[in-house]
């Protein structure tokens, strides 16, 4: 997949205020400070797209980005241009905010994840430098209960040795195996090294193709 353009569209306080659900949508979420904005910018090849910040908890709304892409091998003048939404969600395990603010964010995220009809997949970002965190495991288990499709994206893989990253990824998947029969797809990424970019974009392209076929057959 070749990204032709990626532009910020709108920030919404509730899923009912989001753009018309007329194209495939992919959401990104993770704990505060997991490197979400950096990963989004790396995928879209635009380092100014999502606002990166040293202070966690800056994302407080449902942020939509309008993405135009080409399948691999298609010329820019080809007819197979694809349009899809990329969504930047507030983190869980929130930064220092009030209890009422936290509850408000949690409800906003839950409503979006459970009701957004064109949501194809959620990328749950996990910091590859750490051993499995209860907060992350609780969140993916919650997605399972809600029957929301998701993948794992292990971030910041360049910040540790390959051995340490592999150990932490395996430990997280092993922890999931205790309650999951089938494990989700996972990607090991680094925003700085652009690691994992091609595989994630290939996955999105495959999902876009499936969605288009389902639409045509429907």
Instruction: Note the pLDDT of residue 97.
Output: 67
Q: Which of 12-16, 71-75, 77-81, 178-182 has the lowest mean pLDDT?
A: 77-81
| For residues 169-195, average pLDDT | 96
Q: Which of 87-91, 92-96, 125-129, 190-194 has the lowest mean pLDDT?
A: 92-96
pLDDT band at 52 (very low <50, low <70, confident <90, very high): low
Question: Domains along the chain?
Answer: 23-59+88-94+123-213 (3.40.50.300)
pTM summary value: 0.92
Characterize 55-87 residue by residue with b for buried, 16 or more Cβ atoms within 10 angstroms of its Cβ, and e for exposed: ebbebbbbbbbbbebbbeeeeeeeeeebebbbb
| Residues 122, 29: Cα–Cα separation, whole Å | 7
Instruction: Note the pLDDT of residue 99.
Output: 76
Q: Is the pLDDT of residue 103 over 90?
A: no
- Percent of the chain topping pLDDT 90: 74
């Amino acid at each position: 997949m070749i990204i032709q353009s990626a532009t910020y569209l709108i920030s919404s306080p509730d899923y009912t205020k989001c753009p018309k659900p007329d194209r495939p949508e992919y959401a990104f979420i993770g704990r505060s400070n997991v490197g979400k904005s950096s990963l989004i910018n790396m995928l879209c090849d635009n380092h100014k797209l999502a606002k990166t910040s040293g202070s966690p908890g800056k994302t407080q709304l449902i942020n939509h980005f309008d993405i135009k892409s080409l399948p691999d091998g298609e010329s820019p003048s080809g007819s197979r241009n694809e349009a899809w939404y990329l969504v930047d969600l507030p983190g869980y395990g929130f930064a220092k905010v009030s209890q009422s603010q936290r509850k408000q964010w949690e409800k906003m995220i839950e409503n979006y994840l459970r009701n957004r009809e064109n949501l194809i997949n959620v990328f749950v970002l996990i910091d590859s430098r750490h051993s499995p965190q209860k907060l992350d495991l609780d969140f993916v288990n919650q997605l399972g209960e809600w029957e929301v499709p998701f993948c794992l994206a292990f971030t910041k893989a360049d910040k540790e040795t390959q051995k340490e990253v592999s150990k932490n990824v395996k430990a997280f998947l092993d922890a999931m195996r205790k309650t999951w029969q089938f494990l989700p797809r996972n990607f090991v990424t680094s925003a700085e090294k652009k690691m994992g970019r091609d595989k994630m974009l290939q996955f999105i392209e495959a999902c876009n193709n499936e969605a288009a076929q389902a639409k045509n057959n429907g």
